[in-house]
Structure 1
Amino acid sequence: MTVYILEDETNIQKHIIALVAQIPYLQLIGYAADIVKAEKEIPQLKPDLILSDIQLKDDTCFNLFNRIDISAMQVLFITAYDQYAIQALNLGACGYLLKPLDTELFNETIDRCFRKTEQHKFNQYQLEIAATHYRGNARPRRIALKSAAFTQVINIEDIVYCSSDKGYTTFWLKDGTSILVSKVLKEYESVLPPDTFLRCHQSFLVNGHFVNKFFKDGYLEMTTGAQIPVSERKKDSVASFLERM
C-alpha cells in the first residue's frame, strides 16, 4: 500500500515517516509540508493512502481535496486535539488520529486501512460537511453516518432519537427508517446541537423537537409514538430542557 504524508511540522513529519518505515506492507512514495507541493504530487503519484494534517501553513487539506480527485484514495487525518476539528471530522464520519501519535494505535489504524479499504474513503458529501463546519463555525445541518454497507448523509433535523447497544448506535429518523453505526452514543452526543438534543438516559439521546409528552413516572413519548426511558437522575434536567424548547 503506497502512502503520501502531508504534514508541516518537521518533527511530526519525521515521526510519521519512521512509523511508516516500520510497517512492511507500506511504501512511502512522497511527502509535503505545504499544499502547493501536495497539489502537484498527489494527482501524479496516486497514493493508496494519504496521511494528512488538517491545517497547513498555506491552506487546509479540505480545500486541497476539493480541488483534486481523491475518490480512489483513503485519507487518514492526523490532527492536534482541537474540539472544533474533531467535531467536524465526526460530523463527516472521517477517520483520524490525534497528536502526539501513539505507535500502537497508529499501527492498528493503518492495519484497518489495509484490510478494509472502504473504511477511510469518504465521498464528496462527507468532505463538504467536515469542511463547512471546520471553516465556518456554522451550526451543523447534516451528518454523515457510516454503516457496514454504505455511508448515508442525513439532515440532523430528521433525527428523532438515537439509541445505543453494545458499542453500536441506531439513528431513528422521522420517516420511520433507522441506521445502525458502529460508534458509541457519546461520540454523537458531542457533535449534535446541545440546544436540540438531550441525553435522557445512558442509552438514549433525543431530539427535543420530537418530544410529545414527558411522563413523570420516567419516560418520554415521541411524536412517532416511540417511548423513551428517562433515568431518575436525568428527570430534572429533562424537565428544564423541555421548558426551554
Structure 2
Amino acid sequence: MIKLLIVDDEKDARDFNKSLITEFFPKIEIIGTASSALEAIKIINSNPPDILISDIEMPGGSGFDILESTQKYNYEVIFITAYNQYAVKAFRFSAIDYLLKPVDIQIFKEAIHKAIERRKLQNTDSRIEFLLQNYKKEKSEKIAINIGNSIEIITINDIIRFEADGQYTYIYIDNGKKLYAIKRIGEFEEILVSHSFFRAHSSHLINMNKINRFVKSEGGYIVMSDNSQIEVSRRRKEEFTEKLRLFSK
C-alpha cells in the first residue's frame, strides 16, 4: 500500500487534502499530517512516506527544509504554493509537481496519479536533489525532461532545438540524441525564456547559441549546428533579426 504524508501549517488545508485522498484514493494510507517542517521531518525519519504533499511557506521552516533534511529517503513530492515565482520556476526545471492555491480538485487527482506512476520509476531522489540545486541558483544550468518511462537531466546549452508534435515535443541535443518529451513546446518556451532560446516558428524553439547562419533568401531560414533548416515565421522575422543582431554583439 502507498503511504502518504500531508504537511501544511493551516488545519483547514490539511483536512481538505486529507478528505480528497480519502474520497478518491481509498487504497492510499495516510500515515499522518504535520503542521510544521520540523514535525514532518520527525515523521519521515520514523516512517518514510511514498508520497509527500507539502505547503512551501510555513512558520519555522519551509517545504524545501523538509527535502534537505530527508533527502536520503526516496519519496515523491507534490508541493502546494500560493505562487512563489522563483520556487515554481525551480519545480518546472526539475519535473516536480506543484499545485497552486486554491487547489483544483481535478488537478489534485491528476498530480496524485502521476506521483503513483513516477513512484514506480524509483528516480525521485535525483529529481529532488536537482530541485534543491535549482532553487538555490538564480539561473538553472540543467533541465529535467519527462520522457514517459524515465526522467532525463540535460544541460540546457547542449540542447540545439525543440520541435512541436501536438501535445508532445521532440528535443534535439548536441550528441545527436533525440528525446520525445511529454510536454508542449510552449511550456519549454516559458521556462527557457532567460536562456537564449527563441520561438522562430510555432513548431520550433531554437537555441540562439547553436545557430550556424541565417539565410535571408527564400523567405528566410536558420541553419542550426546540426545542419537542420528552421523556417522563421513571417511575423517573427523582424524580432528574430533584432535578437540576432543583439546576440552577435
**4+ runs deviating over 4 angstroms:** none
- SS at 1:190 equivalent: helix
**Partner residue in 1 for 2:232:** 230
Of all paired residues, the percent bearing the same amino acid is 30
1:62 CA displacement: 2.5
Matched, 1:169 2:166: no
| Aligned partners of 2:71 and 2:129 also within 8 Å | no
**Partner residue in 2 for 1:213:** 213
Equivalent AA in structure 2 for residue 63 of structure 1? D
Structural mapping, 1:140-179, within 5 Å: 140-179=140-179
Separation in structure 2 between the aligned mates of residue 173 and residue 185 of structure 1, nearest angstrom: 15
Separation in structure 2 between the aligned mates of residue 155 and residue 227 of structure 1, nearest angstrom: 23
TM-score, length of structure 1 as denominator length: 0.90
Equivalent AA in structure 2 for residue 90 of structure 1? R
Equivalent AA in structure 1 for residue 231 of structure 2? P
Separation in structure 1 between the aligned mates of residue 121 and residue 105 of structure 2, nearest angstrom: 20
Aligned length: 243
Matched, 1:83 2:85: yes
After superposition, the CA RMSD in angstroms is 2.0
**CA separation of 1:199/1:151 partners in 2, compared to 1, >3 Å: closer, same or farther?**
same
Separation in structure 1 between the aligned mates of residue 141 and residue 5 of structure 2, nearest angstrom: 32
1:153 CA displacement: 1.2
**Partner residue in 2 for 1:5:** 6
TM-score, length of structure 2 as denominator length: 0.89
Separation in structure 2 between the aligned mates of residue 71 and residue 42 of structure 1, nearest angstrom: 8
1:129 CA displacement: 3.1
**CA separation of 1:71/1:231 partners in 2, compared to 1, >3 Å: closer, same or farther?**
farther
**CA separation of 1:242/1:195 partners in 2, compared to 1, >3 Å: closer, same or farther?**
farther
**Partner residue in 2 for 1:105:** 107
**Partner residue in 2 for 1:117:** 119
**CA separation of 1:3/1:139 partners in 2, compared to 1, >3 Å: closer, same or farther?**
same
- 1:53-90 C-alpha deviation (Å, 9 max, x unpaired): 22332223223223224643222222222332221101
- SS at 2:227 equivalent: coil
| Aligned partners of 2:48 and 2:73 also within 8 Å | no
Unaligned residue ranges in structure 2 (runs of 5+): none
| Aligned partners of 1:75 and 1:120 also within 8 Å | no
Structural mapping, 1:185-196, within 5 Å: 185-194=185-194, 196=196
Separation in structure 2 between the aligned mates of residue 20 and residue 225 of structure 1, nearest angstrom: 50
Correspondence for 2:47 among 25, 45, 48: 45
**Partner residue in 1 for 2:18:** 17
Q: Which moved more, 1:38-47 or 1:228-237?
A: 38-47
**Partner residue in 1 for 2:131:** 130
**Partner residue in 1 for 2:95:** 93
| Aligned partners of 2:74 and 2:122 also within 8 Å | no
| Aligned partners of 1:94 and 1:122 also within 8 Å | no
Q: Which moved more, 1:208-217 or 1:70-79?
A: 70-79
Matched, 1:184 2:184: yes
1:99 CA displacement: 1.3
**CA separation of 1:10/1:121 partners in 2, compared to 1, >3 Å: closer, same or farther?**
farther
| Aligned partners of 1:48 and 1:74 also within 8 Å | yes
